[in-house]
Amino acid sequence: MAAIFSRFKGRREELIPILQAVQEKFSYLPEEAMQQVARFISVSESRVYGAATFYSQFYFTQRGKHNIKVCCGTACHVKGAKSILEAFERELGVASGGTTEDFKYNLERVACIGSCALAPVVMVDDTVYGHMEARRVTECLKTDPDSKL
């Protein structure tokens, strides 16, 4: 936390950037870290918690290193997004919205990600996989730089 705090002046208006930095380091906002942030910028813990819960970008439980987003918007839905999501759930052993036990992957079902022409679409971190098929799920996971598949 000291390394994070060294990048800021301890002002109240820095709350969100500080929380973003904390989440970047831990992949979520640990309770103890939020207490330290409150002390650093001299506000109540409830104010820090209130701000953090207002924004959907913040997480309060440990997250995986990689984010897999399976688009289930209309265009992707009609082209078989459900079977792709189920294939990821089977392959990773985790339900949509969950994190694998080794904290390697988060699996999310999302609405349209703006690439309908490529439907069905999956994103693994910043990589977009268009015209996705359930049988390509394993191949998709193999492209992860620290994949052991």
Which residue bears the tokens 């439980």?
61
Of residues 51 and 75, the one with the C-beta less far from ligand FES: 75
Smallest distance from the beta carbon of 86 to ligand FES, in angstroms? 16
Which residues are CB-contacts of 113 (< 8 A; sequence separation ≥ 6)?
Answer: 69, 71, 73, 121, 123, 128
Our CB check for ligand FES shows the closer of 38 and 128 to be: 128
Q: Shortest gap between Cβ of 130 and ligand FES (angstroms)?
A: 9
Name residue 122's beta-bridge partners.
Answer: 70, 129
Rounded to whole angstroms, the Cα distance separating 114 from 65 reads: 24
> Site residues for ligand FES, window 74-113 (CB under 6 A)?
74-76, 112-113
Question: Which of 119, 123, 124, 140 is the binder for ligand FES (CB under 6 A)?
Answer: 119
Q: CA–CA separation, 122 vs 115, rounded Å?
A: 10
**Where along the sequence are the contacts to ligand FES (CB under 6 A)?**
71, 73-76, 112-116, 119, 121
